Amino acid sequence: MLENKNIRIIGVPSDLGASRRGVDMGPSALRIANIGPRLRQLGYKVEDTGNIPIPVRESISQAQDAHAKYLPEIAAASKGLKDKVYQSLKEGHIPLVLGGDHSLAIGSIAGLTKFYSEQKEKIGIIWMDAHGDINTPETSASGNIHGMPLAHSLGIGHKDLLAISDKSPMADASRTVLIGIRDLDPGERTTIRELGVRAFTMRDIDEMGMRAVIQEAIKVATNGTAGFHLSFDVDCMDPTVAPGVGTPVRGGTTYREGHLAMELLHDSGKLLSMDVTEVNPVLDVSNQTADLAVEMVLSAFGKRIL
C-alpha cells in the first residue's frame, strides 16, 4: 500500500528519441483516457502540471549525430524533467511521468536520484519493456536515444546525457531489474551480463510465472533502497492488447500478467515514481492502448478487483 496519496502528472510529448513518429501524442492520449480522474476515483489527490516544452522535430535544422540523434534537445528536455520530478518529490507528490518516447526515463530517474541521494538513500529500478534500452551511442545501430536510457541510468553512455544526473550511476545495476524483454541487440546482451542487471525475459515469465518474477524483482530493487522507480514501456505488453506502441514486438505479457505485475508492485508499498512511455496513437485503434496503459497505472496505484 502506498501511504502517499498525492500524485503529480508531468507530460513529456517527445518522439525525438525514436525513428517512428507519433509517441509525442502519448501524453494527450493518456489524458483523453482520463488518467487523472480515474486516479482520483482511487482516492488520490492528482495535480496535472501539463507538459515539458519539447521542440518540434521539423523545427530542428542542425545536422544530427548519427550515433545519438537529437542529443542536445533530449538533454535539455531531460534536465527540465529532472527538475520537475525533484520538485514534485520535495513537495511530497509521487511523480507520474507520461511519455513520450522512453528517453524521458533519463530525466525522470535523475530527479528521483537527486532527491533520494540528498536523504542519503539509494533507489532501485524496475524496467518493464520488450527491449533492453541499454544501448550506448557505440552499440546502437539506429542512434535512437529511446534505446539508451537504462544504460545512462546505470552510468554508461554519452557524457552529455550522463551529466544530467548529479550522481552517476543513478542506481546500482545490482538493484536494477528488466522484465518482459524479448528483443535485444548483441551489444545489449553483453552489457546486461557485464553490469549484472537482473533480467527476466519472456521465457522466464513463461517458466516461472509473473508472480514469482515480480516477487524476485521486488527483492532485488528494494534491497538496501528507499524503494523503486517503475519505468513502464507499454511495449512490454503483447501487441494483441497494446497495438499502439512505438516498437511493437510479439510475444509480450498478456492483459492479466500486466495487471498482476502492477498489483504485486503496488502491494510492496515501495513504488516511488513511475513512467508510462511509448504509447503511439498513430498506430492505435480507438485509443485502446492508452486506455490499457491507464488501467495498468491504476493497478500500480492500488486498484483492486475486490
Q: Which of 67, 93, 131, 259 is catalytic?
A: 131
| Whether 185 is catalytic | no
Quick one: three-class SS letters along 197-210? CEEEEHHHHHHHCH
Residues of span 75-114 touching Mn ion by CB under 5 A: 102
| Whether 257 is catalytic | no
| Whether 259 is catalytic | no
| Whether 65 is catalytic | no
Residues of span 228-247 touching Mn ion by CB under 5 A: 233
8 binds Mn ion (CB under 5 A): no
- Cβ(184)–Cβ(131) under 8 Å? yes
Closer residue to Mn ion, CB minimum distance, 134 or 272 = 134
Closer residue to Mn ion, CB minimum distance, 183 or 295 = 183
Nearest Cα neighbor of 217 from 235, 233, 205, 203 is 205
| Whether 93 is catalytic | no
- Cβ(44)–Cβ(5) under 8 Å? yes
Give the separation between CA 2 and CA 257, rounded to whole angstroms.
21
The residues near 286 (Cβ < 8 Å, ≥ 6 apart) are none
Closer residue to Mn ion, CB minimum distance, 133 or 291 = 133
Closer residue to Mn ion, CB minimum distance, 233 or 257 = 233
Cell of 111: 530527479
Give the separation between CA 245 and CA 266, rounded to whole angstroms.
24
188 binds Mn ion (CB under 5 A): no
* Beta carbon of residue 105, minimum distance to Mn ion (angstroms, whole number): 8
* Beta carbon of residue 246, minimum distance to Mn ion (angstroms, whole number): 8
| Whether 146 is catalytic | yes
Binding region for Mn ion (CB under 5 A) out of 20-28, 35-43, 124-132, 161-169: 124-132
24 binds Mn ion (CB under 5 A): no
Distances (CA, A) of 181 to 21, 45, 204, 215, 216: 22, 33, 10, 17, 16
| Whether 291 is catalytic | no
Q: Which of 93, 102, 229, 259 is catalytic?
A: 102
| Whether 102 is catalytic | yes
133 binds Mn ion (CB under 5 A): yes
* Beta carbon of residue 102, minimum distance to Mn ion (angstroms, whole number): 4
Binding region for Mn ion (CB under 5 A) out of 6-14, 162-170, 226-234, 265-273: 226-234
At 6 the three-state DSSP class reads: strand
Which phi-psi region, left, alpha or beta, contains residue 286 (left: φ > 0; alpha: ψ -120 to 50)? left
Residues of span 252-291 touching Mn ion by CB under 5 A: none
CA gyration radius, the chain = 17
Q: Which of 172, 278, 284, 291 is catalytic?
A: 278
129 binds Mn ion (CB under 5 A): yes
Distances (CA, A) of 226 to 42, 177, 178, 187, 289: 24, 16, 19, 31, 31
Catalytic residues: 102, 129, 131, 133, 146, 233, 235, 278
Residues found near Mn ion in the complex (CB under 5 A) = 102, 129, 133, 233
